[in-house]
Amino acid sequence: MFITPFTHHRPAGLHSVFDILAKYGDDAAVYAGGTELLLALKARVLRYEHLIDLKRVKELGGVRVENDFIGIGALATHYRIANDPVVLASIPEYASLSDGIANIRVRVAGTLAGNLSFAEPHSDPPALLAAMGATVQLVSADSERSVPVSEFIAGEFTTMREDNELISEVRVPVTQPNEAFRFRSFGHLERPAVNVAVGCKNDDGKTAFRIWLGAIGDHPIHAEKVETALRGVPRASLRDVLPAATEEFTSGLSATSDLHGSADYKRHLASVLMQRAVNEAAESASSKES
């Protein structure tokens, strides 16, 4: 397939990006890896007169460490994130998620910011980032704001980002010594059918879970009812409570039947993955305590 001709821009700084966006409005789009955008242009689902390559924008660079969070710059690719020593040490479960995305070529070219901005529902990062309490930094020509990942994805291919804003960074809280995260994703196609992220925090033997589901709906889903059912349950008794809690929650989920599987299959998958991830996170958090 061929792409309809466009004018290519390769700005070196954020200011120029905003100038070009202001000048051409809806006729212009930014891209980083192009792994989503170019597919849409080839399929003629989208069309732009102007494409702005972000890869040389100096402000959007790599991965940085702050006291309590890791800043993943908009140009960081999944491959870079998966292999970054700081990410591996400070948010290991997120590094492992990045290594499982798509195939090596998509990981080498595709960025986390591009994944979140595109908001294709069959995506891995949103559920775990929501469970970890990560935020998306949005910048425009004259402002900057922060939106929790849990609220950023509004629906299929829609986010809370305004047209004049870009993602500059994703901020992921450093995993604490008494915390553990587990991410489980399954699908038989390239992209996930269902995924589950679980965080377990161990405060002097009292455990609290954070549980998010991804890919099954058009935005990440907070499994609050399961969290509540598990609150204060000792680890040895988890098995008595967990299956009923996950089944009750997932049976009420709305899901669509599509190539990834039937709605019932997805609900079943969600329940099974959730039980496994909860058990693993609980085990890992308790071993950290001792």
Partner 1 sequence: MTEKQSLSFVLNGESREVSIDASELLVDVLREKCGMKGTKRSCDVEVCGACTVLADGLPISSCTTLAIDMDGRDVTTIEGLARNEKLSRVQQAFVDHAAMQCGFCTPGMVLATTALLETNEKPTDAEIRHFLRGNICRCTGYIKILEAVKSLV
Binding site for partner 1 (CB under 8 A): 1-8, 34-35, 38-39, 42, 51, 53, 55, 79, 99, 102-106, 108-109, 190
The strand pair at 179-186 and 194-203 is best described as antiparallel
What Cα–Cα distance (Å) separates residue 46 from each residue in 29, 75, 111, 112?
10, 22, 20, 21
Does 162 contact ligand FAD by CB under 6 A? no
Which listed range, 2-10, 103-111, 223-231, 248-256, lies at the site for ligand FAD (CB under 6 A)? 103-111
Look at residue 108 and give the partner it binds from ligand FAD, partner 1, none, a contact being a CB closer than 5 to 8 Å depending on partner kind: partner 1
Does 98 contact ligand FAD by CB under 6 A? no
Which x/- pattern over 74-93 shows residues binding ligand FAD (rule: CB under 6 A)? x-------------------
Does 137 contact ligand FAD by CB under 6 A? no
Look at residue 236 and give the partner it binds from ligand FAD, partner 1, none, a contact being a CB closer than 5 to 8 Å depending on partner kind: none
**CA 22, chain centre distance (Å):** 28
Question: Is the sign of the CA dihedral 67, 72, 73, 74 positive or negative?
Answer: negative
DSSP count for the chain of H helices, then E strands? 12, 14
Give the residue, chosen from 14, 95, 128, 166, that forms a contact with ligand FAD under the rule CB under 6 A: 166
Does 113 contact ligand FAD by CB under 6 A? yes
Alpha-carbon gap, residue 48 to 67, rounded angstroms: 41
Q: Given the complex with ligand FAD, which of 6 and 118 has the nearer CB atom?
A: 118
In DSSP notation, 38-100 reads HHHHHTTS---SEEEE-TT-GGG-SEEE-SSEEEEETT-BHHHHHH-HHHHHHSHHHHHHHHH
Does 148 contact ligand FAD by CB under 6 A? no
Look at residue 5 and give the partner it binds from ligand FAD, partner 1, none, a contact being a CB closer than 5 to 8 Å depending on partner kind: partner 1
The secondary structure of residue 121, as a DSSP letter, is S
Does 117 contact ligand FAD by CB under 6 A? yes
Give the residue among 70, 40, 24 at the shortest CA–CA distance from 169: 70
In DSSP notation, 230-245 reads HTT--GGGHHHHHHHH
In 3-state terms, what secondary structure has residue 140? coil
Give the residue, chosen from 123, 135, 137, 202, that forms a contact with ligand FAD under the rule CB under 6 A: 123
Does 73 contact ligand FAD by CB under 6 A? no
Does 195 contact ligand FAD by CB under 6 A? no
Q: Which residues contact 213 (CB under 8 A, 6 or more apart)?
A: 127, 194, 195, 196, 197, 220, 221, 223, 253, 270, 274
Look at residue 104 and give the partner it binds from ligand FAD, partner 1, none, a contact being a CB closer than 5 to 8 Å depending on partner kind: partner 1
Does 37 contact ligand FAD by CB under 6 A? yes
Look at residue 114 and give the partner it binds from ligand FAD, partner 1, none, a contact being a CB closer than 5 to 8 Å depending on partner kind: ligand FAD
Do 222 and 130 meet the contact criterion of CB atoms below 8 Å apart? yes
Q: Given the complex with partner 1, which of 55 and 201 has the nearer CB atom?
A: 55
Q: Which residues contact 22 (CB under 8 A, 6 or more apart)?
A: 141, 164
Residues of this chain that bind ligand FAD (CB under 6 A): 29-37, 54, 74, 101-102, 106, 109-111, 113-115, 117-118, 123-125, 166-167, 190-192
